[in-house]
Structure 1
Amino acid sequence: MDVIRLLALRDTPLSVDEVMAAVGDHAAGGTTVFVGTVRDHDQGKAVTKLSYSAHPTAERELRAVAEKVASDFPVTALAAVHRVGDLALGDTAVIVAAACPHREEAFQAARRLIDDLKAQVPIWKHQEFADGSTEWVGACE
């Protein structure tokens, strides 16, 4: 069975329950879940609106990131889902989960999964601020 159980980019709300169900595994002694949400500020400025855009290759890149994590850690299950489109303050933007035989491995695998997703998968955040300014994050890094 493939250890990569759920990978998706979605324009609909994300579910922690769905992710937990996807990574449930009797061989896992530890499961780590990270939930990223839309906050009301960034770099000292009030955020009023946020949207995510993804390159057409983003799902393929997400799979490559997950495969690398699966090869580097003894995972029994992995999942990663990311929103695209317009999000409101407090909305869930991303959920990743890693299940492993031991908790430390689960923490490390989940950390690598979210960090590499953010660094390597072509998903860009457009923020609008209360002062009328805007910012693209990830588009030119």
Structure 2
Amino acid sequence: MSGTGVDRLRALAAPIARLTFARYMLASICALSGDFILFLMLDRIGMPPVAAASGGYAAGLLIHWVISVRFVFNTGTGASHGQRLAFIASALLGMGMTMAMVGGLTLLGIAAPIAKLLSVPASFLTVYAIRKYGVFART
């Protein structure tokens, strides 16, 4: 491919990457909404913060999967079995990060909803990178 062709591909790659991140961000907002609603409900009925965080995260995971496969990463005919397993593995990592942060921060006296909010950026960025460059990477 000529230098001009490579330059054109690079020029197209940046906006597409930004759109993927924007779609992922919107999917994450939807998933986080479901996650946080369930988390608050579970916390309200007296469930321990780590268990409430886990339940909310699991609900958010299901929401995120549906949106990611259909609208974010454009898998075409659907996701492969390997992608499903890798998506779940990335979610388990994110869930572990969330549970550890919520557990640790609540032990320090921070309210559970605040601890949950503080865990979001770390989990979000870690899981996004794994999914973009691993689970749904184009080969």
The structure with the largest alpha-carbon Rg is: 2
- Name the one with the larger helix percent: 2
Question: TM-score, normalization: structure 2?
Answer: 0.37
Question: TM-score, normalization: structure 1?
Answer: 0.37
- Name the one with the larger strand percent: 1
